[in-house]
Structures are given as C-alpha cells and as structure tokens.
C-alpha cells in the first residue's frame, strides 16, 4: 500500500492549532448543513468567542452563511446517534467542517488502501493546480489513466471540480491571511515580558470574582481556559510561584465543564487522554460537526460517475482524500442528499469518513465468509459487500431487531446480494455459526468519539457505563475471536473498532483479548494514518504491540473519534480458554462445563420450526408471510407463462383438504428459527431443495404436506423462515 503523493509531500497533518480550531468554530463554513436536534452550547452567543489569549481581541468579520438543508433521512439509512450506548457510528447531520483544511483536512491524509478501488477511479489533488473553469481548459490527470469516459464528460467534470477548487482556494487565501493576523496578534500578547497569566486568582482585573465563573461568563471562561493551557504548556516560565501543575489542571477541568457543558466525570476522563493543549483542541473540535461524506457504492457505480452526476445536480464535492477511493466530501448541495435519484438507487450512502476505516482494516477478500457481529444499520456491512464484489457470504448480525430492519433496508437499497441478516446477541457466536475467514466487531460503545454528533454524551455517561460497556466489549471480542477459522487460507483476521476514544473501551479490551486468547496477535491495520494506540496509560502497561492499533481524533484528522485494532488468529483456541460467556470461578479455574473445546463447533441440533414465539424476534406474522409468498408465487408463475389464478386456486383447494398451506417451511440448524431476518439473494434452490451461498449449503426442508415441486414455493424476502446448514464446503 503505497503512500499518496500528498502524503509523501506533507506527511501526516499535525494536530489542529488551537487558534485555527477557534477560527473554525467562529467562521461560517462554506456550506452549513442545517443542524437537527443538536445545538452547540457555545453557539448560543455568537460573539462570545475570540481567540482571547490574554484578552485578545478575537475580532473577526462574520461571513455570510449559506444554509443547505439535508432532507430528513430515515434512521434506517443513517446510523442514529440517539442510543449511543448501543453504539453509534456514522453520519447523522454534519456541516462542512473543513475550514482550515490546510491543517487537518481529510484530503491531506494518506493513500487509498482499498484494493477494490484502485482501478476504480481517481481524482486529482484538488487545489494543486487551479484553472479557471470559464476557460474550459482540461487539466491533465483529472481522472486516472484507466478511465475512458468521453472527453466532453471529462471537461464538464473538470470544469466543475476546478470551479469548486478555485473557490475554495480563494477562500482559503483570505482565511490564511486572517489567521496569520490573528496569530501575530496573539503572539504579541503572549510575548509581553513577564506575562504570567493569573488564572488561579480569585478576582479579575476589575475586582470581580472569577473563580466561580459560570457558563454565562463564556468570554471570561474562554480567556482563562486558553491562559491555563498556555501555562500548562510552558509551566516553568508561565506558572505563578508556589502553584502546582495539579492546581492548573483542576482549574482547566472545571472550566471545561462550565464552558463546554461536560459532566466532570467525563471531562476528566477525556482530559487525561491528552496534553493540555491537545485536550483543548479535542474539546473544541467536538463543537464542530465533521464534514459531510458519502461513500460510493461500487456495487452500483463508480465514484467518478457518481461525482459527475451529483455535480450536475448542483452538489459541490471533492474526493475525500487519497486514503479512500470511494469517499466524496460534500461542501454544498442544492439538492437533498438523502433523496436524490442516485441515493434512492443505492449509488451512495451517507457515511462518516471514520466508518470507512474498520472495513479497510478488515480488507475482506472475494469469496470469503465474513461475520459482521454488530452490523446495524449496515454502513460497514454494505462496504464489506462492495469490497467482496457481492461474492462469498456475509453474516450481518445485530441484537437490536429495530436496527436490524434498517440494516435490511440499506442492504436492499445498495444491491447487496451475498448477505444473511440475523438477529442474535453476538455473544451467541460461534455457537450460532463459526469458521469465518474474517470477523468485524464494530462494538457498541459510549460514543465519546462522536460528541460533535451527539452532545448528550457530554452528560449522560456515568461510571456504570464505563463498567458495563467494557465488560460487554470484552465478552464480544472473545466471541469474535472464537468465530474465526485460524486456518483460513485467505484470512483468519478479526477487526475490533469503536467510535469511542476511552482507554477502557479500547486498549483495555484489546489487552483483555490478548490475555485470554494466546492464539491471537495484533497486526498492522494497513491504515495509512491514525495515531498509535497507547502502550502505557495512567500507570497501566499494555503489550508493546498495542502500538499497532490506531486512534483517530476529530482535532487531529477531522474525522470522528475512532479506534481500530486488527488481530490475526494463529491457532485453535486452547482447551482451557474462557468462552465469551464464561468467567473463571473464585479459585481462578474455569468450570469444566464452561471450558471451551479445542475449537467451538456447531453442534446445535436441527430444531423444528414453529416454536419461535418466545424468540427475541417475537415470531413471524403468518398472514404477512403468506401475502408476500403469494405475490412472489404469482410473479414467478407469470414469468413461466402459467396462469397464477388457476394454479393458486388449486393450491388453496389442496390446503383446504389439509394437504398443505402453500407456505414453505424452512428449518434452521443455526440457533432458533426466528433469528434469520432476511437473506440476500433469496435462495436459489435446486430440485432437491439445496441452495449454496458462499460455500455454505442450505437445505430446504419441506413441511408436512408440501409438494416437492419447487415452483409451487416461491421464496420472497419475507418468507424465509430459517435455513438449514447441512454441509460446509
Ligand atoms: C456501533 S453500532 C454498529 C454500527 C454498524 N457496524 C454500522 O457500521 O452500521 C453497534 C451495534 O451493536 C449492536 N449491539 C449491541 N449489543 C449487541 C450484542 N450483544 N450483539 C450484537 N449486537 C449488539 C447495537 O444494536 C448497534 O447496532
């Protein structure tokens, strides 16, 4: 995986400079997507924030804001952020947050590692070579060599992109000049001889008490915050005599809680992750939405074609950066992105950039068997399917039935046809089915990486959450490991990811897995950017290989906070390993009945259908099934030139005679019947009733009284009641 040109030129972008973050918040972005149900605390007083170092002026002209409204998009299509404890990932509503992209723009990041896409499409380095679109000059290398669309199309696209690029460059030049002036001003203030900010004083210069600044004193709070950061940054020179670092840190914590509205518990947890200046940048970045990004669905189109079509519809966009060949960053749109014909036809999905990363790390191969353990609403499942080019077989599982319905919707819309959707607790794997080439565990988490999307995280997470969630994550990761076939010829990998930045949910979970499963190793994620995972944190020491894991922060990369770890399973799980649901007893030994066998095998007996009322899924609606079945049967008969009315009439008559009801019964050997929600594509079974999906044979079992004539039993999406896995190839 080579590095992109820009990456080579620039290296990984540095963390956001505090003054630039501030500027980013205050400036009106080029296009703002209207925020829904989320208000930024610090937006309530437009004038309150200047860079304000030592009372710096903070004077900046407000730029006109062009509002773009995203259409209401169903929860099924965009991962919701409402139940962050259940894990949140993708885009909800975002604004263009790439003001100041010279520091941290997505497009400044590394090269693509999605092999699928390398021959797919190519965008130029935007902004590298500005050409006036009016001149209709075609820029060489706008698209990759292997793209053979017509010249006319190419010129049109070039003109649009170049127009956008020119506009962005002009804006950037103005902003750079403003930022420079601001920095100089701040520097003048900072360099005043003997300037030691009195942040720990009880009174401000005019005798007012400042130690108990409240949220309404935002300007003063901000001034004190920036001053405190400066002191902590240069403690030797700027700290007042006799004051300790701890005093300044405590002051900073207090002010962060008041200024940004965090609970002290969470603010401290997050503050501890970074040096003071970086922490400030992190909290600031959480006030700014991340860029609107769409992922091209390469099962349906190419990124270049999609970009062309959307540009023609009035969408201003740019490739997300060299690190992904499928992402497009949207700056401005005249049309609702969730309701364009291309959206409805499944040519793209709204997906946060960071959500690409776990799938890129997983790197699923064609014809493999992949398990997505916590899959809803399917941003990553559909990405996996695209990388696999709809070959092989994906089991997309989620324990939340409502969310799983959204998953089905996305799978359907995006044309995924290699996936079985199921509704288990992932803790039940590998008993449900194991032997996967790769497993993705995009775990339910606290969502501390996506505070910009869901500000409620600031206050609604408690100590109990940080006990409960890591416990669940630890159990899930063992289940993920045990579901992988270590002897897979092509794989044997597990990717663990969260949209949280806390150590409890990331390094500690990974360390737990390393402790409990000696048969795994951390390996390179293959991702071209990201900070290394911690090998030490607050007195805890993790395995040195933890540096192979990757951390993502909004202030550093302008993506949601994220964590990605990739393991390779190198041997069978040992006999004495603790299973996902088992815990050692007080004497430290695992009870014999809970000891894992040398490898989990699917020994679940084939169960009879019809007893699914007690299942989590709540059973099937026979009437609804029947309706869909009959509709599908009629369509199939018509295609075969038969008269559905006559045929179905006969079937009904037969049913009345007690010989069958015309509804195929499918039995399932992999758990309870009701847990299979849908299967794509509907089974193509042979005369014997067997069907093959991704190397798994599913055998159809006829209910009593059913005819073996397969034509009589058309299978529709909603009619599949379960599957029998009779053999694995
Ligand atoms: C971070 S979200 C997954 C997002 C998804 N991977 C995507 O990209 O669209 C975490 C998911 O875990 C599911 N979940 C929570 N507990 C689970 C469990 N025990 N087993 C399976 N899924 C679970 C939640 O319902 C939620 O949909």
Domain boundaries of the chain, sorted by first residue? 353-594, 612-728
The predicted pLDDT at position 431 comes to: 83
Report how far apart the first and last C-alpha atoms of the chain are (Å, whole number): 32
- Report the alpha-carbon distance of residue 579 to residue 181 in Å, rounded: 60
Nearest CA among 24, 32, 4, 30 for reference residue 108: 4
- Annotated catalytic residue 422: no
- Assess contact for 103 and 556: CB atoms under 8 A: no
The predicted pLDDT at position 214 comes to: 59
Per-residue burial over 230-252, b if 16 or more Cβ lie within 10 Å, else e, is bbbeeeeebbeeebeeebbbebb
**ipTM here:** 1.00
- Among candidate residues 257, 393, 422, 499, the one labeled active-site is 499
Helices (H), 136-206: 151-190
Q: Which of 349, 444, 449, 483 to mutate to test the pocket of ligand 1 (most atoms within 8 A of CB)?
A: 444
Ligand 1 lined by 441 (C-beta under 6 Å): no
DSSP 8-state assignment for residue 591? P
Ligand 1 lined by 449 (C-beta under 6 Å): no
Strand partners of residue 328? 294, 319
The residue whose CA is least distant from atom 27 of ligand 1 is 376
Cβ contacts of 288 within 8 Å, gap of 6 or more: 21, 24, 25, 95, 97, 452, 554
Q: Which atom of ligand 1 lies at the shortest distance from residue 426's CA?
A: 20
Strand partners of residue 439? 371, 494
Q: How far is the CA of 372 from the centre of ligand 1 (A)?
A: 9
Q: Cα 92 to chain center, whole Å? A: 11
Burial class (CB in 10 A: 0-12, 13-18, 19+), 488: middle
Strand partners of residue 405? none
Q: Which of the residues in the chain have pLDDT under 50?
A: 1-105, 108, 115-156, 159, 188, 191-193, 582-585, 588, 590, 592-622, 624-625, 653-674, 694-695, 699-729
What element of type H or E holds 218? helix 218-233
Phi–psi pair at 173, nearest 5 degrees: -60, -45
Ligand 1 lined by 560 (C-beta under 6 Å): no
Q: How far is the CA of 221 from the centre of ligand 1 (A)?
A: 38
Q: How far is the CA of 290 from the centre of ligand 1 (A)?
A: 22
- Report the alpha-carbon distance of residue 106 to residue 109 in Å, rounded: 6
Q: How far is the CA of 354 from the centre of ligand 1 (A)?
A: 16
Alpha-carbon separation of residue 673 from 602, 678, 692 (angstroms)? 15, 12, 19
Give domain 353-594's CATH superfamily. Vaccinia Virus protein VP39 (3.40.50.150)
Q: Which three-class secondary structure state does DSSP give residue 654? A: helix
Q: Which atom of ligand 1 lies at the shortest distance from residue 410's CA?
A: 9
Alpha-carbon separation of residue 183 from 18, 51, 113, 395, 557 (angstroms)? 10, 9, 37, 53, 22
The predicted pLDDT at position 10 comes to: 32
The predicted pLDDT at position 576 comes to: 74
Q: Which residue has the tokens 């030490």?
A: 536
Q: How far is the CA of 630 from the centre of ligand 1 (A)?
A: 34
The predicted pLDDT at position 4 comes to: 37
The residue whose CA is least distant from atom 24 of ligand 1 is 86
Ligand 1 lined by 78 (C-beta under 6 Å): no
Q: Which of 77, 79, 87, 401 to mutate to test the pocket of ligand 1 (most atoms within 8 A of CB)?
A: 87
Q: How far is the CA of 428 from the centre of ligand 1 (A)?
A: 14
């Amino acid at each position: 995986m080579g590095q992109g040109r820009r990456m080579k030129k620039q290296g990984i972008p540095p963390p956001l400079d505090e003054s630039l973050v501030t500027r980013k918040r205050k400036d009106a972005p080029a296009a703002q997507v209207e925020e829904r149900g989320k208000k930024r605390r610090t937006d309530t007083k437009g004038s309150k924030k200047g860079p304000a170092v030592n009372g710096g002026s903070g004077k900046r002209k407000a730029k006109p804001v062009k509002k773009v409204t995203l259409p209401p998009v169903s929860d099924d299509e965009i991962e919701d952020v409402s139940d962050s404890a259940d894990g949140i990932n993708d885009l909800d509503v975002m604004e263009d947050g790439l003001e100041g992209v010279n520091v941290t723009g997505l497009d400044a990041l590394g090269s693509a590692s999605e092999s699928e896409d390398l021959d797919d499409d190519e965008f130029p380095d935007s902004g590298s070579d500005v050409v006036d679109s009016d001149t209709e000059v075609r820029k060489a290398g706008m698209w990759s060599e292997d793209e053979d669309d017509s010249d006319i199309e190419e010129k049109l696209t070039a003109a649009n992109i170049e127009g956008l690029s020119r506009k962005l460059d002009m804006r950037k030049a103005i902003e750079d000049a403003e930022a420079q002036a601001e920095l100089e001003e701040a520097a003048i203030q900072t360099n005043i001889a003997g300037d030691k900010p009195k942040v720990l004083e009880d009174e401000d210069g005019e005798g007012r008490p400042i130690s108990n600044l409240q949220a309404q004193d935002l300007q003063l709070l901000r001034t004190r915050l920036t001053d405190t950061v400066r002191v902590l940054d240069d403690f030797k020179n700027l700290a007042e005599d006799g004051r300790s670092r701890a005093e300044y840190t405590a002051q900073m914590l207090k002010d962060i809680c008041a200024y940004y509205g965090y609970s002290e518990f969470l603010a401290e947890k997050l503050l501890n992750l970074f040096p003071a200046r970086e922490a400030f940048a992190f909290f600031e970045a959480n006030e700014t939405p991340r860029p609107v990004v769409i992922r091209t669905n390469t099962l349906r189109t190419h990124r270049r074609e999609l970009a062309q079509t959307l540009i023609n519809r009035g969408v201003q966009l740019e490739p997300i950066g060299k690190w992904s060949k499928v992402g497009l960053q949207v700056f401005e749109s005249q049309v609702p992105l969730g309701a364009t014909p291309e959206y409805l036809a499944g040519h793209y999905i709204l997906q946060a950039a960071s959500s690409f990363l776990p799938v890129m790390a997983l790197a699923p191969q064609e014809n493999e068997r992949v398990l997505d353990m916590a899959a809803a609403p399917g941003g990553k499942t559909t990405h996996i399917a695209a990388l696999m080019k709809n070959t092989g077989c994906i089991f997309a599982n989620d324990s939340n039935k409502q969310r799983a319905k959204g998953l089905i919707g996305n799978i359907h819309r995006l044309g995924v046809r290699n996936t079985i959707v199921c509704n288990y607790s992932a803790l039940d794997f590998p008993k449900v089915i194991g032997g996967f080439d790769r497993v993705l565990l995009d775990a339910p988490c606290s969502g501390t990486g996506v505070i910009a999307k869901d500000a409620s995280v600031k206050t609604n997470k408690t100590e109990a959450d940080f006990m409960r969630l890591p416990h669940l994550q630890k159990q899930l990761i063992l289940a993920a490991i045990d579901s992988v076939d270590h002897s897979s010829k092509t794989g044997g990998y597990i990717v663990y990811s969260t949209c949280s930045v806390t150590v409890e949910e990331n390094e500690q979970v990974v360390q737990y897995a390393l402790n409990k499963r000696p048969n795994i190793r951390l390996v390179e994620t293959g991702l071209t950017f990201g900070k290394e995972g911690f090998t030490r944190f607050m007195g805890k020491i993790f395995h040195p290989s933890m540096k192979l894991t990757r951390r993502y922060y909004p202030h550093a990369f302008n993506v949601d906070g994220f964590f990605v770890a990739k393991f390779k399973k190198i041997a069978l799980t040992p006999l004495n390993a603790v299973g996902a649901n088992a815990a050692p007893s007080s004497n430290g030994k695992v009870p014999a009945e809970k000891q894992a066998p040398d490898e989990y095998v699917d020994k679940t007996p084939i169960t009879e259908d019809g007893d699914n009322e007690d299942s989590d899924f709540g059973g099937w609606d026979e009437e609804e099934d029947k309706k869909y079945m009959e509709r599908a049967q009629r369509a199939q008969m018509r295609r075969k030139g038969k008269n559905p009315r006559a045929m179905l009439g006969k079937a009904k008559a037969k049913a009345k005679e007690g010989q069958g009801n015309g509804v195929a019964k499918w039995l399932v050997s992999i758990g309870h019947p009701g847990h299979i929600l849908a299967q794509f594509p509907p089974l193509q079974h042979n005369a014997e009733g067997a069907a093959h999906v991704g190397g798994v044979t599913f055998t159809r079992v006829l209910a009593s009284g059913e005819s073996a004539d397969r034509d009589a039993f058309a299978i529709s999406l909603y009619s599949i009641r379960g599957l029998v896995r009779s053999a694995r190839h």
